[in-house]
Structure 1
Amino acid sequence: MSKTSDIIQFHYLESAFSFDNRNACKRFITSLFKKEKTPLDNLTYIFCDDEYLLNINRDFLKHDYYTDIVTFGLSEKGSPVTGEIYISITRVKDNAITHGEPFYRELHRVIFHGALHLCGYRDKSKAEQEKMREMEDKYLNAYFTR
């Protein structure tokens, strides 16, 4: 059996960024996948800046706008999840200010948001967005009250 640190990896392209309790966060993400009954093989989070993520958004999704997160599911349908999640620290900081949230909480919302995408949750329609927000809140509250 693989260790959580082997299954979930954090990489920092924004050299000035790192956060505390990374191993606890990785364990929680693993438990999120278990609670969602979604087998997990390998998950990589890449923390970057706005320009890096804008280029990914343009090149791969043909979207010409800033975003806080881009999630790529890389596994075959029916196989355990392998994915890459790119998070713009610049955007998370701005969103935290806009929503009146502490940065640390907004960062975890986005981290869990990407995991939820890989568990099958979508956010294109209003109903999907409401369900996604409900699930983010559920896992945020569980994470911060453990």
Structure 2
Amino acid sequence: MNCFQSLATGIPRGVVASDFDLDGKTDLAIIATDEFGQDSLFVLYNTGNVSGISEENFQQIPENFSLSQNYPNPFNPSTTIRFELPESDIVTLKIFNILGEEVSTLVNTELKAGKHEYQFNANNLSSGIYFYRIQAGSFTETKKMILIR
């Protein structure tokens, strides 16, 4: 078994990018565990440009569906509604008045897994209690919000 086959079938445990041979080019060191539980170190010299993902740009996929309370609440005239999807799904997010009549549809499309945020602007609505409901697959949840003029 050559080192590249072992690396390809092993489980990477760590990667370090640096100029190990001091030639001014980025090199990679990879620690991997093979199928027998043995750790191996692989150094790839002169790999060219290496880019990474910073933690602040990394978005963890939620484990469950969730709908957060809007903020601010009470609000005038706009508020933010956040929700999380553990998988891609067709999502509808609708606003209803106290009589159960639909007054707005904020979302009606397929969305990717992750955290989502939408602004609801109630400029054309009167003060009162409103409800927002999300439907994604078999998940449905409704929350109350209050518009104060």
Shorter-chain TM-score bucket reads under 0.3
- By percentage of residues, which structure has more helix? 1
- By percentage of residues, which structure has more strand? 2
Q: What TM-score comes out, normalization by structure 2 length?
A: 0.22
Q: Quick one: higher RCO (CA 8 Å, sep 6+), 1 or 2? A: 1
